[in-house]
Amino acid sequence: MKLVVVGFGQCGGRISDEFARLNARARSIRGLDIITGAYAVNTDIADLSGLHTIKSNYQHRILIGSRKTGGHGVGKINELGAEIAREDADKVVETIRSAKRFAETDAFLMIAGAAGGTGSGAISVMTQQIKERYVDKPIYNLIVLPFEHEEATEDRTVYNVATCLKSSYLVADAIFLVDNQRYAMKDSPISSNLAKINALIVQPFFNLLCAGEEKKSKYIGAKILDAGDIIQTLVGWTTLGFGRSKSSLLKSLFEGGRDFRMKASETQKGVQALDEAVSGLSIKCNPLDSKRALYLVSAPAKEINVDLIKELGTYIKNMAPEAIIRSGDYPREKGAMDVTIVLSEMHDVEKVRNFFTRAINLIAELKKRQEGLVSTQRGIDITIKDIPSLL
């Protein structure tokens, strides 16, 4: 599957940059292309300059709203981010369309941090604009939720997240939810290292996108997972995860023979990788709430067997009994067994619901405060008329 990836704001731009690196990796180690174009769109010149892999010309690092912001961002005001995106939408759409390999694209992936201003405001507006022009290509959003400490210090954070999520949900075909806090907890030394978090966010996409693009017959699985399967799986609120177990251990244990113990051990490794993928999903959720799921096993060809695929299928069926499950195998990896999992069409995600509830309370609170302000103003206005003026 081939994507056009567009990142908005600092967070979106950096993750888009990570996708550009992912494509470079797919090219160099597999001879495949999985990204037909990687772009960063921002109101902030400095953020655009800080990227590494996205081409540094103005057709790939797109500055918007410079008249309004002077190239310095929108300072967390996501309404302003949305307004600027509406005004400069044509510039972005035209730039993407004129890309050389645009015609090969299967879908769009738009990325932003929900708590900021530029990305949070622009992502839904741009999704809507692109959707109107390309009715036949799905448009996905990948939205990054803030660390807990960001929610505690700023009311604006909750408001931005809620408005961004709602607006994206109205227009995107599916939304990958990525909770920064989950990555901070996964491995504490990386908690402050956004670059490492970004690499982890993008990791599950590698095999997922490569599997259907594979051209060499020895790397084509018994059951190919292609763009069609992925598109059929992605609807509404979505999460994804990746797990790996090293298989070098297997080889050394059973050197020379492929006896029954090795086969059992392969199944066990697969389950272990799937366990890791599920516990590391990009947002905390209840798999029971998902209506669609997908898993992909990637390992050396001789380690993929029918029992393994069946065992993993049963595991996911028990976990998400209401889901339509799609699957595939990809005989590519060396020395490892990888499992990628996607859960989609989730009808409830606690964290998202909480953001909506808190934003509603916050708006009510602000309204009260404003009314209070209005009535005191009225109060002064009433008494002021009795004071003599010097003018």
Q: Which residue, 201 or 316, has its beta carbon nearer to ligand GTP?
A: 201
Q: Which of 88, 106, 150, 338: binder of ligand GTP (CB under 6 A)?
A: 150
Q: Which residue, 10 or 78, has its beta carbon nearer to Mg ion?
A: 10
SS (H, E, C) the chain: CCEEEEEEHHHHHHHHHHHHHHHHHHHHHHCCCCEEEEEEEECEHHHHHCCCCCCCCCCCEEECCHHHHCCECCCCCHHHHHHHHHHHHHHHHHHHHCCCCHHHCCEEEEEEECCCCHHHHHHHHHHHHHHHHCCCCCEEEEEEECCHHHHHHCHHHHHHHHHHHHHHHHHCCEEEEEEHHHHHHHCHHHCCCHHHHHHHHHCCHHHHHHHCCCCCHHHCCCCCCCHHHHHHHCCEEEEEEEEEEECHHHHHHCCCCCCHHHHHHHHHHHHHHHHHHHHCCCCCCCHHHEEEEEEEEECCHHHCCHHHHHHHHHHHHHHCCCCEEEEEEECCCCCEEEEEEEEEEECCCHHHHHHHHHHHHHHHHHHHHHHHHHHHHHHHHHHHCCCCCCC
State the binding string over 14-53 for Mg ion (x if CB under 5 A, else -).
Answer: ------------------------------x---------
Q: Which of 14, 182, 244, 292: binder of ligand GTP (CB under 6 A)?
A: 14
Q: Which of 38, 63, 139, 197: binder of ligand GTP (CB under 6 A)?
A: 197
Q: Which residue, 8 or 315, has its beta carbon nearer to ligand GTP?
A: 8
Which among ligand GTP, Mg ion, none contacts residue 197 (Cβ within 5 to 8 A by kind)?
A: ligand GTP
- The reply to whether 116 sits near ligand GTP by the rule CB under 6 A is yes
Per CB under 5 A, the segment of 70-78, 238-246, 295-303, 348-356 that binds Mg ion is: 70-78
Which among ligand GTP, Mg ion, none contacts residue 214 (Cβ within 5 to 8 A by kind)?
A: none
Residues that bind ligand GTP (rule: CB under 6 A) add up to a total of 25
Q: Which residue, 77 or 230, has its beta carbon nearer to Mg ion?
A: 77
For Mg ion, the binding residues (CB under 5 A) are 10, 44, 73
